[in-house]
Every structure is written in C-alpha cells, then in structure tokens.
Amino acid sequence: MTLPFLSIVELKSALIKGELSAREIAQQTLDRIEQSNPTINAWTAVTQDRMLSEADRIDRLRKEDRPLPALAAIPYAVKNLYDVAGHTTLAGASLFSDRQAAKNDSWAVRKLSESGALLSGMLNMDAYAYGFTTENSHYGATRNPHDLNRIAGGSSGGSAAAVASGLVPFSLGTDTNGSIRVPASLCGIFGLKPTFGRLARSGSQPFVASLDHIGPFARTTADLALVYDALQGRDPQDSFQAEKAIHPVHRLLEHGMEGLRCAVLGGYFQTWCDDNARAAVALAAKALDAQEEVEFPEAALARTAAFIITASEGGSAYLPELRAQPERFEPLSRERLLTGAMTPSAWYVKAQRFRYYFREQVLPLFEQFDVLIAPATPTSATLIGQETMRINDSELSIRASMGMLTQPISFLGLPVTTVPLQTPQGLPLGLQLIAAPFKEEACLRAAWALEKMGIAKAPVAKGLIK
Amino acid sequence: MTSSTDWALYIAQMEQILGVPLDEQRRAELLVQFSRIAGMAEPLMAFPLDERVEVAGVYKA
C-alpha cells in the first residue's frame, strides 16, 4: 500500500489493520521528503536513522501484540530550534551551526517519542525566530507549497510548509508574536498556540522568555488535538509553565459549538486587514452564529508593548554574540537585535506593566463570549522578496507587520486555534479562534465545527508529491 | 522623550556602554531602527497607568 495523505487517525488504523507497517510509513515519508524538499526547502536536516529505528520499535510492539501508544508510527518534524539528541540546534542561525550537538531531546520531542511518533527531521525558520516570512539568508527561503513564488510565513515557515505539502501529518513550531498562526494562515493549515505557560518549553532555544509558546500544526482539528494531548504534562525544569492539570481535549471535540458563544473581534482587527480577510471573518461569524462585535481597548498599544518586550529580551539575550562575532549574524536581524539591547529599561518596564493592565481590560469579555474571531494575517501570502504590502491605505513592512494581528493576542497569552479558509483568488487565509486562558477546548471545538461545516479545510498542496 | 530626541548621540553612548564598536553604516541602520521603535514607544510611555499597576512577571520564589 502506498501512503496517501492520511490523517493521524487513518494512519493509525492502517497500522493496526496491518495495511502498512511503521517501517513502510517511515521509508515512504523519507523518500517523499528526498523528492520534494528541494522544491519547498522546509527541512534543514533529515533524521533518517532515528526515524527508521523509531519505526522498528513500533513494529516490534505490533509483532508482540502489545498496546500501541497514541501516535504510533505517525511521521512528524520539528522547527530547528528544538533540541534533538545528537544534532546541533540551529534556531535558523548560521551563528549556531558549529556549536555542540544537543545531548538530549527537548521536552516536546521526548513526549512525542514516548507517544510513538517518528521524527523525520528539523525544519527551516526565520533566524532566531525573529521574523514572519522564513526568508532565511543563510538557509534559504521556505516556499509556500500552494504557490512556490510566495512566502510560507514565519517564523515557523518550514513547519507549516512540511504539513501543507502533505509530507508529514503534523509538525511542531513555536510562537512568540505569531510564529505559529502566521505560517498556518499563509500555508492553509490548522495551528494551535496554546495558553502561555500551558506546554513545557524546556530544551528549545529561547527567544523571548516572557512571550515564547510551543505548539503543533496539522491538517485537521482532530489531529491537532491528538498532538496537543500528547504534549501535555508537567515539566519541573520549566519555571514558566503554569501549574495546571492535564486536560485532554480530543475526546471533547464532538461537542462542537454546544454551549459556546462567539463574537467577532472588531476595531483594530477589522481595520488592519484586506477585504478577503474581512469576508473570511464574516463567513465564519455567520456559521458560528457570532452576531456581536467586541473590541480590545488599546490593541495597537498592546502590539507596541509586545514589540518592545521582544526587542529588549531578544536583543539582550544575543548581546554577548553581537559583541563577539557580529559578522556571523543574519544581516536582516543584527541591527534589530542590537536596537533591542539598547532600548531604555523604562520602555521595557512600561510594556510589562501595560501587559498586566491590558489583561485586566480584556479578560472580562470572556464572561460574555467563549470564542472571538479575528483574521490571523492582514492578507494572504505575499511574494518571496516583496518588502511591503498595502493595508488600510498604508504601506507596511511585511517582515514586521504580517504578525500585527497576532501580536496583541500572544501578548495576552490567550489560546488560539488558526483555521484555514480560501480567498476567491485561491490562496489560503487563516482566522484566529481565540479563547479565555486555559480554554483550549473552546477554540478547538469551534475549529472542529467550522471544519465539519466544510468552511475550514486544509487540502494538501497539489502537484508536489508524485 | 520626544521625536526630537538625538538618538544618534544616545546610540553613540550605548555603543560605548555596551562595548559594541560600530561603523558608520551600522550606526545609520541602528538610527533607522531606533527612530522607528522610539516612535512606537512614545504613545505607550504617554499612556497613563495607575501607579499600583505592577509588571506582569511570572517569577515565583
């Protein structure tokens, strides 16, 4: 049996029925990556030996009739800022290419390995996770599988392209200001940025400790929820992790919109986007019976505060290397990082105080509504090399502004599921379904409902895999 | 802190304080970046917050 574009549930079923062995799944995945990766430039390393060895372990369990773990024989890949034992953690930066290999897997990779998933390799990203386009000057641009002339979004662009191309059913990315939601939107797949502090980050290269999140990409809501469930658990090494009990959500998806109240997020979020994004919001709002519009007061200032925290923490972290080897920095990021390291501390402290204030203003909205709807990006994928986009009669830098609708939400730390819709021009465009802190279940159930109605869908990009 | 602030002077001083020697091209790019972020920071710094609003920290002893 050849490997069609199966979901996690379908792959597991084929494995249990004996239609495919784990070894066959791994080998066919590796063959396809070898064939298609030169076109999209998503993988920066392929972990062939590890993948085959993980597959053989699953086949031994099958042979011995032992229970199979939740993600048995499911291929995946991770953004190249996750530690993978025996491999150098690049974080998209040539600066790190000669540092020692990681001794251990990151928390997330270890959890997925324990769940039986098969690691195929590591994926391209914006250097240091500082960008929204994955136009990496050292490792090359990752191409959008739906239109190879366009960006995949960033910073987790390789992670989104790997899933959108059909090469793996899921991947991991990270999101500081929108780095899961932006590429999910532009590549037309589902993405989950959980609540800040929900999933353990240890063993991943930090960028901005106050804002970094980890999370999965997939082509269905059910797959997204299965991976999210596998990633839950308490990690004593992660001091930023919230002390919350594990709350599996996959089995709850079928409740759909039962008891959920939705509203459209207006103001800033309806102003800074194009007509396609507004039409996508209107379509989802009608389907989810979202009749009211609410606003976040001072959303633009929230974006500014997120920007200042990012610049200051990210820049300060890289200051030793900016002093010691400035010539090895990505030219597009070096002066942005140095500017961040030089910002007055009063700006940073004000931004952190504003974060507290903003949360107190916004959280009461969730007493009236469970899910808020907003575009994930101001527009669909722009061309590789394009510098600016025209939004709200303003010429905006794509590199800085493709995440302007995601930044205020991650600043709040709210959980978001990104759902893929289509523009009339045929390009994908994602929406953010935003819930109250630690209510991942609500935004995933709303995503599941939109998928069941046929409004949100993530078809595999055509023509890449023969 | 206004838009007339001499950021070139500030950058020159920070270059010394942080020990990051720069050439003219890099100083010029830093000035572009700094002017942009300063323009963004201005309304944030002007936004009134109650004096008892604390930072949104997560440190736990």
Residue A190 domain flag: yes
Longest dimension (CA), chain A: 64
User: Which range of residues forms the domain containing residue A18?
Assistant: 8-234+242-452
Residue A2 domain flag: no
CA atoms within 13 A on the CB side of A441: 15
Chain B residues near residue A351 by CB distance under 8 angstroms: 44
Instruction: Choose among A342, A343, A356: nearest Cβ to B55.
Output: A356
Residue A407 domain flag: yes
Instruction: Choose among B33, B34, B44: nearest Cβ to A354.
Output: B44
Domains identified in chain B, total number = 1
Q: What is the pLDDT of residue B3?
A: 56
Residue A465 domain flag: no
pTM of the model: 0.97
d(CA A381, CA A428): 8
Residue A112 domain flag: yes
Q: What is the pLDDT along chain A (466 residues), one digit of tens a residue?
A: 566 688 999 999 999 999 999 999 999 999 999 999 999 999 999 999 999 999 999 999 999 999 999 999 999 999 999 999 999 999 999 999 999 999 999 999 999 999 999 999 999 999 999 999 999 999 999 999 999 999 999 999 999 999 999 999 999 999 999 999 999 999 999 999 999 999 999 999 999 999 999 999 999 999 999 999 999 999 998 989 999 999 999 999 999 999 999 999 999 999 999 999 999 999 999 999 999 999 999 999 999 999 999 999 999 999 999 999 999 998 778 999 999 999 999 999 999 999 999 999 999 999 999 999 999 999 999 999 999 999 999 999 999 999 999 999 999 999 999 999 999 999 999 999 999 999 999 999 999 999 999 999 999 998 787 6
3-state helix, strand, coil in chain B (%, to 5): 55, 0, 45
d(CA A452, CA B7): 54
- Give the model's confidence band at B57: pLDDT under 50 very low, under 70 low, under 90 confident, else very high: confident
Chain A residues near residue B55 by CB distance under 8 angstroms: 349, 352-353, 355-356
Helices A331-342 & B7-18 angle (0-180, nearest 10): 90
Structure token pair of residue A320? 């030793």
E strands of A289-340, at which residues? 293-294
Residue A122 three-state SS:
strand
CA atoms within 13 A on the CB side of A458: 36
- Give the model's confidence band at B56: pLDDT under 50 very low, under 70 low, under 90 confident, else very high: confident
In single-letter form, the type of residue at position A455 comes to I
Chain A residues near residue B40 by CB distance under 8 angstroms: 304, 307-308
d(CA B19, CA B21): 6
Residue B29 domain flag: yes
Residue B30 domain flag: yes
Domains identified in chain A, total number = 1
Name residues 86-105 of chain A within 8 A of B (Cβ): none
Residue A82 domain flag: yes
Residue B26 domain flag: yes
Residue A458 domain flag: no
Residue B42 domain flag: yes
ipTM for this prediction: 0.91
CATH number at residue A154: 3.90.1300.10
Residue A12 domain flag: yes
Residue B23 domain flag: yes
Residue B55 domain flag: no
Residue B52 has pLDDT above 90, yes or no: no
User: Which range of residues forms the domain containing residue B13?
Assistant: 7-46
